[in-house]
């Protein structure tokens, strides 16, 4: 009886994957900072899109709609991208994300910041945004036009940042396992 239990324990232990070795990567300050800042900024930018106009007294009747329809999905996308980016960064020495994923994430943050600033709301029956509060109330149409464009770009860049981080993480895992990365490496290993 004991021998079969000991065999089961070793069999279970053999299934547990060994920790993967870190992969060397050159990492600039930006590449080290983005994965650290990404999780809290995902949450803050979601709140900014939902109710950031409240800073200038422009948060009104549409805050709940903006929170559910825009803020929540952007927070989920940016948060998922932040988690994948963080995992990839931790697998490298020094800990840092790839330059392309870092720059894409940074671009997504800037566009979402602009989106929250021009997104119109309704206060006292009138449309307002941070742009119209800071300048001329007659610019509401311009603000809405920028909001449409920046809203689409916000979602596109958030998805792109997530996709790039996932691709980088997949590549990192393949390097750690010693798997071929390109078609040429696969053909070389097969002797073709």
DSSP per-residue codes, 11-50: HHHHHSPPPPPPEE----HHHHHHHHHHHHHHHHHHHHHH
Q: In this model, does residue 88 exceed pLDDT 90?
A: yes
Averaged pLDDT score across all residues of the chain? 85
Pick 18 or 20 by higher pLDDT: 20
Mean pLDDT score, 73-90: 96
Supply φ then ψ for residue 164, to 5 degrees.
-65, -40
Q: In this model, does residue 48 exceed pLDDT 70?
A: yes
Task: List CB contacts of 183: < 8 A, sequence separation 6 or more.
Answer: none
Show the tokens assigned to 126: 């009138």
The pLDDT assigned to 139 comes to 84
pLDDT tens digits, residue range 136-185? 778 888 989 999 999 999 999 999 999 999 999 999 998 888 887 777 77
pLDDT tens digits, residue range 100-118? 999 999 999 999 999 998 9
- Percentage above 70 pLDDT, the chain: 86
CA-closest candidate to residue 53, choices 42, 67, 41: 67
pLDDT tens digits, residue range 51-63? 887 776 667 788 8
- Percentage above 90 pLDDT, the chain: 49
């Amino acid at each position: 009886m004991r021998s079969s239990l000991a065999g089961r324990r070793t069999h279970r232990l053999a299934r547990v994957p060994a920790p993967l070795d870190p992969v060397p990567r050159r990492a600039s300050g930006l590449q080290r900072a983005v994965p650290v800042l990404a999780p809290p900024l995902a949450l803050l930018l979601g709140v900014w899109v939902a109710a950031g106009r409240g800073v200038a007294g422009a948060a009104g009747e549409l805050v709940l709609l903006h929170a559910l329809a825009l803020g929540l999905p952007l927070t989920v996308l940016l948060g998922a991208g932040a988690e994948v980016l963080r995992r990839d960064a931790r697998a490298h020495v020094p800990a840092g994300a790839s330059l392309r994923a870092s720059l894409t994430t940074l671009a997504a943050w800037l566009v979402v910041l602009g989106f929250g600033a021009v997104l119109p709301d309704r206060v006292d029956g009138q449309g307002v945004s941070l742009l119209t509060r800071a300048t001329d109330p007659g610019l509401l149409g311009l603000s809405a036009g920028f909001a449409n464009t920046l809203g689409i770009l916000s979602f596109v860049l958030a998805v792109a940042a997530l996709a790039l981080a996932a691709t980088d993480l997949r590549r990192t895992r393949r390097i750690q396992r010693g798997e071929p990365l390109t078609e040429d490496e696969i053909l070389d290993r097969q002797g073709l």
